[in-house]
């Protein structure tokens, strides 16, 4: 007698699997975009990233001098600033803000003929690609022999964001991510602008008194993510609830991690605990 997979699983688990399946949104165009179609490329990239920054990179740099990549970092930070500003600009496109405000607690029409659907998916895809580009932050740390900045917070956050954005774009495509993407991209504009100016040298760095406020801004975004998710649950908004719970969970985790970072960097001021804040 052959048992099906459903027959081998308890009823409560089957019901939850079916619930998640019902929330999946498929699009024949979006689901086949570069680095979206399959989990294999994105997983390979993250695994290669982790192996390099935690094993290969440190061993390679052990007996080498730090690479002088100042100009590469300047260009990288400038590109990141412009790239994130471009993503923020999507909200100011004709009709975009109106669509968002009218669907704060409801799903928008989906499909190739639906207004703003492809704009939403395009911006989400750009956001996903930006998380892959963010991995270069850690690569630069390793090449400059700043391994102390390759912290758990840093590596966890970058790896988690790559997988999260891929899963979201490939399967769920929920409207609640509009606020997440908008706020996070805005934070990145401020953050990478600071890094670009700081990389110009001591002559400019002395004017950058607002460094600690970047971390406060980062903490504020995670608080807002959590509050937004709670509001969606309280008002029973018709959006993918799996993503809503996940956003709330990650917002809580990041508040704890960034709060710990802020305490040790600006309150306790233990240099061994200091690290570069990201995202």
The tens digit of pLDDT for each residue in 89-135 reads: 999 988 888 888 877 887 776 777 777 888 899 999 999 999 999 99
Q: How far apart (Å, rounded) are the C-alpha atoms in residues 54 and 51?
A: 6
Q: Given a cut of 90, is residue 21 above it in pLDDT?
A: no
Of 39, 268, 267, 40, nearest in space to 166 by CA:
39
Assessment of whether the complete model's pTM goes beyond 0.85: yes
pLDDT for the residue numbered 3? 47
Q: What distance separates the 2 farthest-apart alpha carbons in the chain?
A: 78
Q: Please state, in angstroms and rounded to a whole number, the distance separating the CA atoms of residues 76 and 74.
A: 5
**Segment 64-72 mean pLDDT:** 95
Catalytic residue among 157, 158, 188, 228: 157
Q: What is the pLDDT of residue 16?
A: 58
Is residue 278 scored above 50 in pLDDT?
A: no
Residue 37 in any domain: the answer is no
Q: Per the domain annotation, does 33 fall within a domain? A: no
Question: Is 248 part of any domain?
Answer: yes
| Residue 267 in domain | yes
Our answer to whether residue 188 is catalytic in this structure is no
Residue 274: the pLDDT is 45
pLDDT at 269: 67
**Does a structural domain hold residue 51?**
no
* Domain total in the chain: 1
- Position 2 confidence tier, pLDDT thresholds 50, 70, 90: very low
Is residue 1 one of the residues assigned to a domain?
no
Instruction: Give the confidence band of 207 by pLDDT, cuts at 50, 70, 90.
Output: confident
Whether residue 25 lies inside any domain: the answer is: no
pLDDT(140) > 60: yes
Distance of CA 50 to the CA centre of its chain: 17
Residue 57 has pLDDT above 80, yes or no: yes
* 45 domain-assigned: no
Residue 266 confidence (pLDDT) above 90:
no
Q: Read off the pLDDT of residues 251-263 as tens digits, 9 standing for 90 and up.
A: 999 999 888 888 8
Predicted pLDDT of residue 98? 82
The label of the residue with tokens 């892959």 reads 132
| Structural domain of 120 | 67-273
Model confidence at 65: pLDDT above 60: yes
Instruction: Calculate the average pLDDT of the chain.
Output: 88
What are the tens digits of pLDDT across the range 176-205? 889 999 999 999 999 999 999 998 988 888
According to the model, what pLDDT value does residue 196 have? 95
């Amino acid at each position: 007698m052959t048992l099906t997979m459903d027959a081998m699983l308890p009823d409560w688990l089957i019901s939850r699997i079916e619930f998640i399946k019902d929330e999946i949104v498929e699009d024949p165009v979006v689901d086949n975009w570069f680095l979206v179609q399959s989990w294999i490329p994105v997983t390979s990239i993250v695994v290669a990233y982790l192996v390099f920054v935690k094993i290969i990179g440190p061993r390679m740099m052990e007996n080498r001098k730090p690479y002088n990549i100042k100009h590469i970092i300047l260009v990288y930070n400038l590109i990141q600033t412009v790239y994130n500003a471009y993503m923020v600009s999507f909200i100011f496109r004709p009709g975009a803000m109106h669509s968002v405000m009218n669907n704060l607690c409801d799903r928008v029409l989906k499909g190739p003929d639906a207004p703003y659907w492809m704009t939403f998916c395009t911006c989400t895809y750009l956001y996903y690609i930006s998380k892959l580009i963010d991995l270069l932050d850690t690569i630069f740390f390793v090449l400059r022999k700043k391994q102390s900045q390759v912290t758990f917070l840093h590596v966890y956050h970058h790896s988690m964001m790559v997988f999260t954005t891929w899963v979201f774009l490939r399967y769920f495509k929920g409207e609640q991510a509009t606020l997440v993407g908008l706020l996070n991209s805005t934070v990145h504009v401020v953050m990478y602008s600071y890094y670009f100016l700081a990389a110009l040298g001591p002559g400019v760095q002395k004017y950058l008194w607002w460094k600690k406020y970047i971390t406060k801004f980062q903490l504020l975004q995670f608080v807002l993510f959590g509050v937004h998710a709670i509001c969606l649950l309280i008002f029973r908004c018709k959006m993918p609830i799996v993503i809503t719970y996940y956003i709330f969970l990650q917002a809580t985790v990041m508040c704890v991690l960034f709060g710990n970072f802020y305490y040790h960097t600006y309150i306790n001021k233990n240099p061994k605990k200091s690290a570069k804040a990201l995202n």
